């Protein structure tokens, strides 16, 4: 990549740093605006190999010609108001939905807006608008036409009422938990959300299996005098709502940039030769980490150039078994069990062994070296609920 006009890159430890001060001022301002946009929306520049369609995957910070940020974005995380045909709105439980802007209301990022629903009104904040929302409609929302529209920008009185609803939701959670204990129902109440006009109360919970909560719903309707919706969510959805920081030091993928939960299986971990340690493979949700998907396709493509793991290789020292393949250093580790000898060969040497017919593919039973108890725990991790 060529450096910007008037500046040059400083390269240290194979990392490309920002240009020196003689870079064009306009270019530097765009970089700072993009950094502010990423920080404001908890966007992490990761995950290019995941099979899911993320709400936003930021390109490299040094791709100056493609700084995909909203129009007129400022360093404080807002934009100048402008009229957008479609607007993505974020609600309390971190759910997002696209609405039409039929009234041509000028909006900016983080504005509170009142939106119409089938049975009333709700309040949320502007999460994206303009070209970014159109991109999401093509990818994430599969070109679905928004059914509802934005009614108006929220007034100070609306925002105060929303704050009261949020504060009241904690009281609701405590009351619902008391009723759950009273009716002896095996469920965990995780969240409660009032619709803006109090026409609906949505209570989210997790449970290991289906539960009969008909009597509980009747009691909740008598207590809160509104329409009650009990919604069972997965443990992944619960972790998304709670949030947190992963072992990588970044915000959880599901709370920052991932738009949906992808199906992660044991095959994703096995192909990447990851440890069978359950605690290292599982996330806060108690399921396999979503990030196991990010490099999976790269590993699958790289392993096409190597013999399978646990293949037997005839060597002058004896019969060796392939124990590890390092796709970055392009070498293969082998172990001769009789002599307890470990050997390392380059990719070219292994290719020569394959051509000479010295490599024998493993039997299925040889490749399964996971004890039954660990396998049972790993299978449990792979479940969606």
Domain 169-236 sits in CATH at: 3.30.300
Alpha carbons 378 and 365: distance in angstroms, whole number: 18
Which is higher by pLDDT, 152 or 24? 152
Measured CA to CA in angstroms, residue 373 lies from 106, 132, 279, 376, 379 at distances of 59, 47, 14, 5, 10
The tokens for 177 are 């938990």
What average pLDDT does the segment 147-161 reach?
Answer: 92
Q: Please state whether the predicted TM-score (pTM) of the whole model is above 0.85.
A: no
β partners of residue 116: 121
303-367: same fold as 169-236? no
* Structural domain spans, the chain: 169-236, 303-367
- For domain 303-367, the CATH architecture is Roll (2.30)
Which tens digit of pLDDT belongs to each residue from 106-144? 998 889 999 998 888 999 999 888 888 888 888 778 778
Which tens digit of pLDDT belongs to each residue from 6-31? 444 333 333 433 333 343 444 445 45
pLDDT of residue 38 exceeding 60, the answer is no
């Amino acid at each position: 990549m060529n450096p910007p006009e008037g500046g040059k890159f400083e390269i240290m430890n194979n990392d490309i740093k920002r240009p020196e001060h003689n870079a064009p001022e306009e270019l530097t301002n765009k970089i700072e605006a993009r950094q502010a946009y990423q920080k404001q929306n908890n966007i992490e520049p990761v995950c290019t190999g995941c099979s899911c369609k993320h709400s936003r995957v930021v390109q490299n910070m040094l791709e100056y010609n493609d700084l995909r940020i909203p129009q007129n974005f400022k360093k404080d995380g807002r934009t100048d108001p402008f009229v957008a045909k479609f607007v993505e709105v974020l609600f309390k439980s971190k759910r997002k939905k696209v609405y039409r802007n039929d009234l041509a209301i000028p909006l900016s990022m983080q504005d509170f807006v009142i939106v119409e629903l089938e049975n009333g009104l709700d309040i949320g904040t502007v999460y994206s608008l303009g070209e970014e929302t159109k991109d999401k409609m093509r990818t994430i929302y599969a070109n679905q036409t928004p059914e509802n529209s934005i009614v108006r920008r929220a007034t100070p009185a609306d925002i105060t009422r929303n704050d009261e609803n949020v504060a009241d939701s904690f009281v609701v959670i405590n009351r619902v938990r008391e009723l759950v204990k009273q009716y002896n129902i095996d469920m965990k109440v995780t969240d409660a959300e009032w619709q803006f006009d109090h026409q609906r109360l949505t209570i989210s919970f997790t449970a290991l299996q289906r539960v009969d909560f008909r009597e509980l719903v009747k009691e909740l309707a008598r207590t809160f005098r509104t329409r009650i919706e009990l919604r069972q969510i997965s443990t992944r959805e619960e972790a998304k709502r709670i949030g947190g920081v992963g072992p990588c030091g970044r915000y959880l993928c599901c709370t920052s940039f991932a738009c949906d939960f992808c199906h992660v299986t044991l095959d994703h971990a096995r192909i990447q030769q990851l440890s069978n340690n359950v605690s290292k493979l599982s996330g806060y949700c108690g399921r396999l980490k979503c990030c196991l998907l990010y490099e999976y396709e790269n590993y699958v493509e790289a392993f096409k150039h190597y013999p399978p793991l646990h293949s037997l290789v005839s060597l002058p020292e004896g019969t060796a078994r392939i124990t590890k393949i390092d796709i970055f250093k392009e070498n293969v580790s082998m172990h001769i069990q009789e002599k307890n000898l470990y050997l390392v060969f380059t990719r070219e040497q292994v290719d020569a062994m394959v051509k000479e017919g010295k490599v024998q593919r493993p039997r299925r039973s040889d490749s399964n070296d996971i004890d039954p108890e660990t396998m049972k725990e790993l299978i449990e991790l792979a479940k969606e609920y």
